[in-house]
Amino acid sequence: MKKQVVKLKEKEIFISGYAKPPENTTASQLYKIIAVGLRVERKTGIIVEADSSMITDVSKSFVKNALEGKNLVQIEEIEEMFHDNYYGSAKKALITAIKNCHLRYCAVLDNQMEPEDD
């Protein structure tokens, strides 16, 4: 089992991003915080696996399918896709959480970030 962890460390990283929806909106009633978790290829930025704290199965599935296979480095393309195709009430917070994942990934590449307890 230890060999798997070493291989994972060399190839992939886990990154999370969070955002709070605007107060007094439907989204804020449903979500205290929006969380996005990504398993990313360390060297390429390709999103291998994606998950979110969205409540409905269809929204979780939409986010997962929209992100997996995309390159986290190309955040503008990801952001544009969500602007053009996602019309849920947590849209802004979801995009912010994804952008926060992008910023964390960039920090990892720049060696500015150490792993945290999550």
Which of 51, 41, 49 shows the shortest CA–CA distance to 109? 41
Distance CA 62, CA 117 (A): 28
Q: Between 50 and 2, name the one with better pLDDT.
A: 50
Average pLDDT, the chain: 87
- Whether 116 is in a domain gets the answer no
* 79 lies in some domain: yes
Q: What's residue 102's pLDDT? A: 97
Task: With respect to residue 72, please indicate whether it lies within any of the assigned structural domains.
Answer: yes
| pLDDT at residue 99 is higher than 80 | yes
- Non-local (6+) Cβ contacts of 98 within 8 A are 17, 36, 67, 75, 78, 79, 82
Range of the domain at 75: 2-109
Q: Which tokens belong to 80?
A: 């544009």
* In contact, 54 and 41? CB cutoff 8 Å: no
Residue 69 lies inside a defined structural domain of this protein: yes
Residue 118 lies in a domain: no
The neighbour count for residue 20, using CB atoms within 10 Å, is 14
Question: Could you say which DSSP state residue 56 is in?
Answer: S
Asked if residue 28 is part of any domain, the answer here is yes
What pLDDT sits at residue 116? 60
Q: What is the mean pLDDT of residues 88-103?
A: 94
On whether residue 46 sits in a domain, the answer given is yes
Residue 47 lies in a domain: yes
The CATH number of whichever domain residue 79 belongs to comes to 3.90.1010.10
Which residues have CB under 8 Å from 10's CB, separation 6+?
42
Write out pLDDT tens, residues 12-55: 999 999 999 877 777 677 778 999 999 999 999 999 999 999 88
pTM flag (> 0.85): no
Q: Is the pLDDT of residue 113 over 50?
A: yes
- Which one has a higher pLDDT value, 110 or 79? 79
- Overall domain count for the chain: 1
